Structures are given as C-alpha cells and as structure tokens.
Structure 1
Amino acid sequence: MRRKQLLSIIAAEAIMASSFSACTNNTNNQPQSNSTTVAVSVSDTASNAATTTASDNSYNLSEATKTTPEKTTIQTTTTAPFTLEDPLLVFDFSGNEPSITDVHFLTGDAFISMKAPLGATIYYTTDGSTPSEESTKYSEAIEFTTSMSSEPATLVLKAVAYYSDGSASKVATRTLFNRKKIDKRITIPIFAISADPAVLTEAPDGILTGKNYELCGKESEREVYIEAISPDGKTIFEQGAGVRVYGAASRAASIKSLKLFARKKYDEKHGKFKIDLFDTPGADGDVINKYDKLVLRNFGNDFQFAFIRDELNQNLAKKAGYTDYEGVIPVVGYINGEYYALYYLHESYCDDLLKDKYGGDLGKYEVVTGKETEITIEEDDEENAAAATEFNEKYSELAYSDLTDDANYQKLTEFIDVENYLNNYALNIYVNNFDWPQNNYKCYRYYAAEGEEYGEGATDGRWRFIFHDTDYSLSLYGQDITQPGYNNLELIMKEGNEHYSPLFTALMAREDTRNYFLTEITRLMNDVTSYTGIVETLEAMNKERGKELDYYFDYLERLKATDSSIWTNVWNFNERTGYIMDFAGSRKEKMQGFLIKQFDLPDDYFLQK
C-alpha cells in the first residue's frame, strides 16, 4: 500500500510522529497524549522479500477450485520496516477508552502495533479469547503477512492495557483481512464473530461442537464480539453481543445458523445492532436502522441444495407488496478469523422491531410460533404464554364454526386480519411450502397499554401472519410433495392429515373470502410468482452473492476432507437451482387446475382473468 493510500485511512501523520518521539519523556502514570507509539506499516515494494504478487483468481459456478488458504504469519519482530511517516495505528489506549482505527482490510505485508501511555503494559491474544495479564505481552510489532490464495489472511487481535496504578482499559478488538486486490475478493458484508474458543468451537462447552447445538434458550447463549464490515472494509457496527445456535432440524448441520442478541449486559453502550441494509420502511417513513435480534441463517433445509429457497420466497413476498416478511441480505460469516459460512442475514421479529415497523410505542407486540391448530406455549415467558393460550382458545372456537354465518365471521374478523391471513396462504400454497401450516407458523398481535385505545393497521389488536422458514418448497429435494404438480391445496383442505387447516377450509366456504383468495393467488401467478417473476428474482439474488458463492463452494470442497456430511458441489447447486426454474415454469398451469377442481370453477375461469 503506497503512502498516500495509507494516509487516507489513518490518523494524521504529524500526530503519530509526535507521539512516538515524545514517548521517552513521559513519566506520568496516567494516560496522556505523549505516549509510547506502536504502529502498523504496509509494504508493497518489490524489494521487500516478504511481499509477493498474488493473482486475483477468477471463479465461476461451473468449476469449484480447491485452493487452500495460506496461513497467516504472526510473530514479533525487532526490525519492523516502517517509517514514522507511515504509521497505521490500530489500538490507542492513551484515552479514557481504547480508540480503534476504522480499518479492516489490508493489501500488503504489515506490522501491527499499538499505542499506550508510558508505564502501561499491553497484553493481547490472536485466538479470539479475552486478553489478560496471562496473555502474550506486547513488546514489538506483530508481523501480518498478506495472503497468496483466494482467501484473505486474517488476524483477530484483542488487546488490553494495564496501567501503572493497577487499573485496566476495556478490551479492544479488531479483525483484519489481508489480501492483494481485496476489493475484488470481498463483495458482500462480513460478520466477524470472535470469542474464547472454549465457548464456541472447543469441547466440551463450545456451542458449535458435538451435540451442544441441542442446547436451547438462555443456557445456550454465549458472549461474543461482533464486527459487521461493509465490502469496502468500513465498520457497519461492532459490539459485544450474545449468540445462540438457531433453527430446528437444521441445527444438526455442520454449518450452524446463529441468532444474535444485542444486550447491554454485553455492551453497555450498544443495546441495538445499528444496521440499515434491509431497506425495511418504518412507521416514521424512514428505513429501520436498529435491531434487537438478527439471524445468520444457514439456508435450513436448502443447505447443500440451492442455498436460497426461503430467502427467495421472502423477496417474493416483499415484491408482492406484503409487509410481514423477513428482510434478508447475503453476508459472509467468520468465526475467530476462520471462514465459516455464506449466510443470509435475516430480520428477527420481536416487540421492538414491530414497534419500529408499525408504531404502537405504549403497548406491546407478542410474537408466537408453532402450528396453526396449536401455538407453542413458552412457559418461561408469562405474557407470551398468555398470548399463545388466547390464540389457541380463540382459534378452536372460531376455526371449527360455520363461517358462512355472518355473526361467526364477524367474530373472526375481530380475532385476525382475514386478508393478511389469506395473503399468507396464497403465497405459501403457490410455492408449495410443505413444512407449513403444521409447522413454522408465526404470527403476532398488538396489546394496547392500560388506558390506550387500539389504533388502525397492525395496532388494531388483531393477529397477523409472518412468512417464516419457507425453504421446504419450490421442488426441494426433487420430492413429489414439493413438485409443481403436487396438490397441496387439496391436502390443506382435507381432514385427517397434519396439514389440514380447519380455518382456511371454513373461510373457503364463504363466497367473499373465497373470491378474495382466488383473486390474490391469480394476481401472484400472473406477476411475482410467474415464471418470469420467480426467475428474475432468483437470478438477481444469485448475481448479488455470485462471487461469494464461488468461494463458498471452494470452501465446502476443502471441508469434505474432514467432514463427511458435506457432499454438495457446483454441479448439484446448478441442478437444484434448475429445479426452482422448472417449478416456476410449471406451477401456474398446475395451480389453475387445482383451483378449478377444488372450487368447481368453470374450465375457462382463468382465461377470463
């Protein structure tokens, strides 16, 4: 990296040089601006024997390469080849709190250094663990060699300063990535998670080892540090947080889904994740930019197949004009500096997100899950359990009633938003989501505060339904039950099987609600879920993550050497993506036939639409 490039991302040259030259005269015990300076230099000169030119490998989905990333060199040195005019300060412990330079990407061999007051001692780790006086004592610059492979070299640096008065600074954390032409390699955001390996990746307690993924709830949560990094290497957010393994059957997969929790007990200054990349509109008209929870999703049932089905359906729901979908963006996950996964980052519905999205600051939203005929009762959450119990009781009362009776139907319209419910059914039925509604059923309602009147829309106190975990669809696995020719509409309306929905069946007995459903599913099949609609959305999403998909398959190829559960490859991915396209091409005609048969419609019904 040349000098003018380097100076654009660091503090002023004169300040750094001044700090270094004055350090020997500082005899005070407290942090001061005249401090011992330690810095990073990056050399890209041909004369530097440690610097080599790495070609930017060209990847495509037609060929999975087997490049093994070069190990990062980390060592101390007494001959750091930098000048006082070219420091890249990473950690500065001279203030009341550590100051961290907003740099994550390097493009050449570097010497990493830190700065602290005279009399202070810096200790650091590079394995993700929290540094202490038992950790490596900082004395000289740390060499960080650039990667020669497709994957950047990484360095997870955590440091703490112990002052002469016995006090200690807060721990400072920075994950660095080093590769020639790194801007050509990183094209989507990175989520770099670091923590003591003992709580994440090492037996017996690491939640990513053995069968510890079976742990659920609070006992499974581990404290970590998260750095969300944009493709240009700048920080989106960074903070202490909690993490749990997430999902149901997919928890057993080699690559885990992770749920992230922003809590002040982990980071007193950051009770939210500040991120606006979902472009989800809020009640105030602005894009929502803060979240209590986020999910790094491993594609669920679609892991090792097309790696996209649920996220594709979420985007189809968004394009259809529905609002109760999960915003998704592709990201890369690193754990303690090791490449871990290509993910989709999901919004996670909770009270605060719903308030930001729909308003209703005085009351509370409850989100419940389970199956349609029996929502799960969460015994450790009294208010949520009460909401789930209320839903189950009301559902049992109304779903089995005669909804052609206007009095009964009126009661139902006070219980749920019927149009929202039917919209949810239209899309789930069309994409043939087989793992629903007997599973992955998610809904919410607003409870007004004492003395507060219910409002309009989502604050009216009625239940509404969220598109959630829809990956068992769109010809997944090539099974008959997910194929475009499978009549899941008939299944949902036929008593005696787990997919049966008494409420939907009762609603279809009413002419007005049946006509609404027919109009809505016709709108979908002629627009966002038409062949063109699905394929255009699919191709745009794969283009967005396309380069990272290439590297992900390279990574999965390497995993096969030590993990027999990984079997997929680029050929399989292309074939399974083709299944989605074939589904999109055939479903409309099949669906029209199912609707004509189920509701005894004229043969030319859809020709009239």
Structure 2
Amino acid sequence: MRKKICALLIFAVLLSALTGLNVFAQSNKALRPVFSHQGGFYTQPFELYLSVQEPNTRIFYTLDGSVPVPGSEGTFEYSGGILIRNRTDEPNDLSMIRNVSNDMFQGWIEPKGQLFKGTVIRAIAVNQQGIASDVVTRSYFVDPNGIQRYKLPVISIVTDRDNLFDNQIGIYVNGNYEMRGKEWERPVHVEFFEADNTLAFSQNAGIRIHGGYTRKYAQKSFRLYAREEYDEKKWFEHEIFPGLKAKGTGESIEKFKRLVLRMSGNDSQYTMFRDGLMQDLVSHFNVDTQAFRASVLFLNGEFWGIYNVRERYDDRYFQIHYDLDRDKVALLSIAGTTAESIEVDEGTEEDAQDYRNIINYIRQNNIKDSSTYEYVNTKLDLDSYIDYLITHIYFANTDWPANNQTLWKYKTDNREYNPNAPKGQDGRWRWAIRDTDFGFGLAYGGQVNHDTLSYASTEGRGFGAPPAWSVFLFKTLLENDDFRNKFINRFADHINTAFVPERVNEMIDKKSGDIAHIIDEHNRRWNKIEDWNKEVNILRDFANRRPSFVINHIVNRFRNNGVSQSASINLSTDIEKGYIRINSIDINEKTPGVKDPANWNGVYFGGVPVTIKAIPNEGYQFERWEGVNEDIKYNDTITINPQNNLSIKAVFKKTSSGGRMMGDINGDNVINSSDYVLLQRYILNISDLKLEDKYAITDLYEDGEINSIDCAILQRYVLNIITSLPHK
C-alpha cells in the first residue's frame, strides 16, 4: 500500500512539473478509455481491446482491482489485446487470506478446490499534457454456459485489495471488521448484472462491513453507499427489487441511496434465505420490511458466494417509502437487559426520551380505561404494533423481544399526532421488521411448537426468559379488551391468508429454487452448510405445522379472557357481484393467500366477536346474508361470536342505473311483500311506478316487458322459493 501511494504521488508530481497542471483536478472524462467489449458473461475467451480518441495518449491498466498508477507495481501500459478467459485454474487469492474472523465456529476455512474467477480491468488514459482520465472499470466472466451459470443477478465489487485486506486499513481483516463509521468506509466500484446479462448499473461507491455479531464470521455482510464524492451518480438507479412499491405512497421504487449485501446472518449455515423469506411473507403487513433478492457476489473477480441484496433502514429508506423530509425521521433500535438500552439510529436523544415517556405513561395509568388507551393510540400506531407482534410470534423468533426491536416515527411540526396526515406521517411510532434469522425453526432458535405468544407477553424467569422491559408493553396492552380482541382477530386473519401453508410453501419453493443450482458452489467456497435440502425441508415443516400450534397457543393464553375453542367460518358469494370483508382482510384475489374467494374458509375464536361486511361490485348491491339470524340478515355489516362452525353467504343483486337493486321497487334497500304489492298494483293499472328506469328494476324476467310473469317471480322470491333476481 505504501509503495502504491508513493508511486501515485511521484506520478502526480512529475506530471505537475512537466505541465504545470494538477493531474487530478484536471481529470477529463473525454479521455476515458473505450473498451471493445461490455462487461458481463461470455461463453468463449476473447481479446479485449482498449482505445482512446485523442492521439498520442497512453493507456494504463491493472488486473488486480487497484487504480492504475503509471510506474507502480501491478500497473501495465496497454500495447495490444488483453486475453479475457476463464481464470479458474489460477490459484485462489483473496479467499486464502486467513485473518478474517475470530469466531470459533465460522472462522476461516480453505475453499474446496479452485474458485470460479473472472477478470477485472481498470484503465486510465493520460495525454501529452499529463491530464489523466477517470478510471474505467469492467468485469468479465467466461464460462461455457455464459450467464446461464448463474440464474441470478451478479454483483462485481472491484477495489484495491488493501481497502479490504491490509492489516492496518483493510475493513475485512485483523479485527478491523468490528469498526464502524465513515472512517471505516472504503472506495469501490460496483457493477450489477441482471440475470439476463444486462448491465443494470456501473459506478463508484463506498463500502463498509455490515451487521452485529456476524461481523466476526469469515463471510461478511457489506453495506454500499451511493455518494457524490465517489461518482456523479448519486443513487443506485435500477429496479433492483422487481415490483417493489413504497410502503406509504404505493409508487414503484427504482432508486436507492444505500444497499445491504447480506450473507444471510445467523442463517448463513442453513438455508441462505430465511430472513428474506420471512420479511417477504409479511411485506404487505402494516409494518416496514426490507426488500430481498438473492444474488451472486464477486470480489476483484473471485467468487464470494450467495448474498442477499436488501434495503437498509435509515432516513433515506423512509424518505423514499413515505415521501417525507428525512431530517424529521426518528429511528430507534432497542436491545439489551434494560429498557434504557435504546440506540438512536436517526434523530436525537430527545426522540429516545419521547418513547420512554410513553412507556412511563402506560406504567402510571390504567390501560383498561378507554381514555388511557385512546391517548396511547395517538402516540403509538397500535395497528402497526399488532402486525409487528404477530410477525415475530408466528415466526417463533427467540432473538426477540429483548433484541432486534426497531421503531420509527415522523416528527410533525408541532410534535403532535396528526390523524389526517398521509400514511407514516401522522407523528406516531411505527414498527419495522429486521433480523428474524432465529425464526422459522432455526436449529438454535424457536422450534415449530415454541409458544412465542406466552414467551413475549409474560414475565418469565430463569435462563432464556426475556427481560421484563421487553414484554411490558405487549403484556400491558393485552389487559385492554379492545386491543386484545383486535390482536386475536388480526392474528386469525393472517393465519387464514398470509400464513396459509400453501402460500408459504410456494414462497419457500421459489426462493430455494432461485439458488439451488449454485448452493454446491457456494458451499465449496465457505464449507458451512451440511445438508441444504434438509434445512429447506425444516422450513416446509414449519410452514405446514406452525398454524395449528399458534391457534392452540392463542386459546391457551386467553382462556381466562373468555376465549374458547377455535371455529371454522365458511364465507361464500358470487365474486362477479361482490366480495366479503372479515375483520381486516378482503376475501378477494388481491389479498395474498386467498385462493378461492367465492368459497373461503377461515379459523376464528369463540369469545372474540368477528365483524363481516358485504361489499358489492359496481352495478350490484348487497341484498341479504344466508346462514345468519333473521334480525341481522339484511345488514351489510354484521358482528358474530363464532362459538361453532358457521357457513355464511352474501347475496348481491343487480342495481338499476340509479343505483337501486332489481326488485326494490319502493327503494328501501329491502325486497319484501311491499315491493310485490306495488308491482301487482302497477300490472292491474291501479297505480303507476314513479321510477327513473322502471325496466331496470321491475323487468325480473328480462324479456323487455313488465307483466304478470315479473309479478310471479317477485312473489316467489319474497317467499324464498327462488333466491336470486333476475330469474328465468
């Protein structure tokens, strides 16, 4: 490193003396070398040619990831074609550096065999005046299968090896990986190739080591920063996560200020996608989640394994997702043995104290009182909190609640609750999901039968029990009937949709299928996963069995609150005419996990009232329920206590152009004998029908006439001989 710095300084001084110019300040983009081939994957070796438009200009290049410095070791002057080939037969390089870990279980292990390697070229041009161009960086990979070798995005990080592996300044080695902050950020070049070999972006950026304890592991996570000081491109601009929508605005997200390349955390010796699976399962919940995409990473052309591309929680995340002023974001992380263990990730200590004040208010006031509960709901987004709780409880995440608690809020101008503000901007604390690796049956985490509900809501004793502070909020809120019932019903809603085993298994199959073809290559690099297929099957077993355990945990935990056995509710309707909403979920094709909205089944709990609403499609109107008591059958919204299995049908009717349904002649939204009498009197010429479009309402046979046939049909309908209108 010292030799290279000296050579760089000598190069600058010589050129300055010759030309009177500052070589770096005078860097000219027009001088950039032109490469004959784009970076990416190729099936055959080829000769790479470099050129420059300005005559009498020299080109210098490197092959080791360093910035070219004329006269420095490892910098070559270009004189002809450069052979680009598969370099796998060359000795492993970066992967043989040993002082990368101090963990006894996931320390350095020599790769099994030769790793796949590409070629990285970094080049500059220097003209006769001594003006040097910007550095141009390209990564090339040659394999008979070309891009088909990896059916995933490929990320190539190129940098001077000292930035990562020098004992003094390298961020990957020698305990330096424990260091944090801007002073431990290093410059790199990043190329992102899509699975079809399209170059999504290529730019300079900053890199840091990312993570908590996993910094000690040999395979480490990285954090990438798009900064103006590195590149004129201030963002990573690409649809990195296809289909990703902003949590607050619903807009597509196609630019990022920071990215995390995660090595799957505590799951890195098991499935390599556990946390991504869990967060994707609940990405539509009322909590924040980090988008996930599997990828393959190369460092200076050397295969570095499978990495999970993730969003990072910071002020930029909330700026993008909620279209807000990032300077007004407060973001807290809570972990430790005491309630004072709050780390301010964004904001000030005043924000941490604000949250403590809310907790103290709850300690000093009776949460059963409606006024107390309503006040707390102006400080905490309790709907977000409920989804957050359900997520960790279903996942059986035992690295929580004493760890990995993350919450944020937008600081309104008056620091008060603004109920009319856009989503996420009302001034209340909301919750975010992070680091769920211990969940979903991880070997040393919560197993499929783990009673995480009791674990997170009662003050346990002994080894492994969460500290009192970490269960206080949930335990106390459960004393309020409204919160408890909402929590139970919302949990049931998710069990019946998002957590349906069929849906969860489909997602497991998709994510495991994405990396199955390279898991062996990854394992040869890191030697960590003993039986990958077995680990994936543990996920499937959890998906299949977890709902029944959670249902039993709910009954057992709340038996003293009047919760009895679970009951099945069957909801059916003609989906062409309308759909049904139960509690917080719409039974239609838009809701994840709903396969058959025309005939749907869900599990709910006796002693916990369930609200069901019929919602007509355009051109239709709710008429009645079938399978409920007579006194509520004509109400579009009903509340029932599911003590036994129920089968309920919503019946919708066609409306006239004025919005009135067929057969509702008197316009009272109910079809009964009064309507029959009016139609009969019209047919007998006793009175007229004062309707804007009488045929749309009274032509029940749809033959273009209003006569005794329509009257007979209406009579049969009122007597429940037929159940739908119109009728042929």
Q: Does 1:303 align with 2:238?
A: no
Q: How large is the RMSD of aligned CA atoms in angstroms? A: 2.6
* Code of the aligned partner of 1:460: D
Matches of residues 143-542 of structure 1 in structure 2 within 5 Å?
A: 143-146=83-86, 153-267=117-231, 269-278=232-241, 279-282=243-246, 285-318=250-283, 320-322=284-286, 324-361=288-325, 364-371=328-335, 373-374=339-340, 376-378=342-344, 383-398=347-362, 401-448=365-412, 454=418, 455-477=421-443, 479=444, 482-495=446-459, 497-499=465-467, 500-542=470-512
Contact 2:222 2:261 in 1 (8 A): yes
Q: 1:297-321: per-residue Cα shift (whole Å, max 9, x none)?
A: 1111111112222111111102x54
Question: Equivalents in 1 of 2:332, 2:273: separation in Å?
Answer: 25
Q: 1:273–1:136: structure 2 CA closer, same or farther, 3 Å change rule? A: same
Shift of 1:153: 4.3
User: Out of 42, 46, 57, which is 1:120 matched to?
Assistant: 57
Give distance in 2, aligned partners of 1:362 and 1:475.
37
Cα distance change on mapping 1:594 and 1:384 into 2, 3 Å: same
Query: Is the Cα–Cα contact under 8 Å of residues 124 and 160 in structure 1 kept in the other structure?
Result: yes
Q: Is the contact made by 1:155 and 1:337 (CA closer than 8 Å) also made in structure 2?
A: yes
Task: Say if 1:274 and 1:452 are closer, same or farther in 2 by CA, change over 3 A.
Answer: farther
**Deviation for aligned residue 1:126:** 0.8
2:506 counterpart SS class: helix
1:139 equivalent in structure 2: 79
1:459 offset after TM fit, Å? 0.7
1:12-71 Cα offsets, whole Å, 9 max, x none, are xxxxxxxxxxxxxxxxx9xxxxxxxxxxxxxxxxxxxxxxxxxxxxxxxxxxxxxxxxxx
- CA distance in 2 between partners of 1:510 and 1:199 (Å): 55
SS of equivalent to 1:95: helix
Q: Structure 1 residues 364 and 96 mapped into 2: Cα distance closer, same or farther (>3 Å)?
A: farther
Give the structure-2-normalised TM-score. Answer: 0.65
Return the letter of the residue paired with 2:545. Answer: S
- Within the alignment, does 1:555 sit opposite 2:490 as a pair? no
Cα deviation, 1:311-337, whole Å, max 9, x if unaligned, reads 11111102x544511110111111111
Deviates more, 1:241-250 or 1:447-456: 447-456
Helix, strand or coil: the match of 1:139?
coil
> Which range moves more in the overlay, 100-109 or 294-303?
100-109
Q: Spell out, residue by residue over 1:78-131, the C-alpha distance to the aligned partner (whole angstroms, 9 max, x if none).
A: xxxxxxxxxxxxxxx993555566432222121122112322111111111111
Structure of greater Rg: 2
Deviation readout 1:538-558 (Å, 9 max, x if unpaired): 1111112332324323433xx
- Which residues of structure 1 form unaligned runs of 5+? 1-28, 30-92, 557-565
Confirm or deny that 1:581 pairs with 2:540.
Answer: yes
| Contact preservation (8 Å) 1:376, 1:388 | yes
**3-state SS of 1:392 partner:** helix
- Residues 138-193 of structure 1 deviation map (CA, whole Å, 9 limit, x = unaligned): 12221122468897541110011111011110111111111122132121111111
Contact 2:417 2:427 in 1 (8 A): no
For structure 2, the residue ranges without an aligned partner over 5 or more in a row are 1-18, 20-27, 90-113, 570-603, 605-728
Change (3 A) 1:181 1:209: same
CA distance in 2: counterparts of 1:330 and 1:507, whole angstroms: 38
Summarize the Cα distance change of 1:338–1:394 in structure 2 as closer, same or farther, 3 Å threshold.
Answer: same
- Matching residue's letter, 1:393: N
Deviation at 1:375, TM superposition (A): 5.2
Please list the CA deviations of residues 448-483 of structure 1 after superposition, one character each: whole Å capped at 9, or x if unmatched: 358999523201111111111111111111x4x511
Return closer, same or farther for 1:452/1:174 CA change in 2, 3 Å cut-off: farther
Amino acid at match of 2:551: Q
CA change 1:518–1:449 in 2 (3 A) is same
2:455 touches 2:466 (CA, 8 Å); kept in 1? Answer: no
Paired with 1:126 and 1:582, the residues of 2 have a C-alpha distance of 48
| Match status 1:604 vs 2:565 | yes
Between the two proteins, what is the percent identity of the paired residues?
26
Distance 1:298 1:369 in 2: 21
Distance 1:266 1:592 in 2: 53
TM-score (norm 1): 0.77
CA distance in 2, matches of 1:288, 1:506: 38
Deviation (angstroms), 1:370? 2.0
Q: How does 1:15-34 map to 2 (within 5 A)?
A: none
Greater RCO structure (CA 8 Å; 6+ sep): 1
Residue 574 (structure 1) shift: 1.7
Measure the CA separation in 2 of the matches of 1:390 and 1:504.
Answer: 18
How many equivalent pairs are there?
501
CA apart distance, 1:527? 2.4
**AA aligned opposite 1:271:** K
Matched, 1:95 2:30: yes
In 1, distance between residues paired with 2:483 and 2:417? Answer: 28
Distance in 1, matches of 2:67 and 2:362, equals: 55
Q: Quick one: distance in 1 between partners of 2:301 and 2:308? A: 19
Displacement after TM superposition at 1:567 (Å) = 3.9
Distance 2:484 2:383 in 1: 11
Going from structure 1 to structure 2, the CA distance change for 1:231 and 1:147 (only over 3 Å counts) comes to: farther
8 Å contact from structure 1 (residues 107, 146) kept in 2: no
Rounded to whole Å, the distance in 1 between the matches of 2:509 and 2:226 is 33
The structure 1 segments of at least 4 consecutive aligned residues displaced by more than 4 Å after TM superposition are 96-101, 147-153, 449-454
Whether the 8 Å contact between 1:367 and 1:384 is mirrored in structure 2 is no
Q: 1:502 to 1:323 in 2, by over 3 A?
A: closer
Instruction: Please say if residues 112 and 142 of structure 1, whose CA atoms lie closer than 8 Å, have aligned partners that are also in contact.
Output: yes
Distance (Å, rounded) in 1 between the aligned partners of 2:41 and 2:144: 10
Aligned-partner Cα distance in 2 for 1:120–1:452: 64
CA distance in 2, matches of 1:366, 1:220: 24
Structure 2 SS opposite 1:459? coil
Relative to structure 1, the CA distance from residue 576 to residue 153 in structure 2 (aligned partners, 3 Å threshold; closer, same or farther) is closer
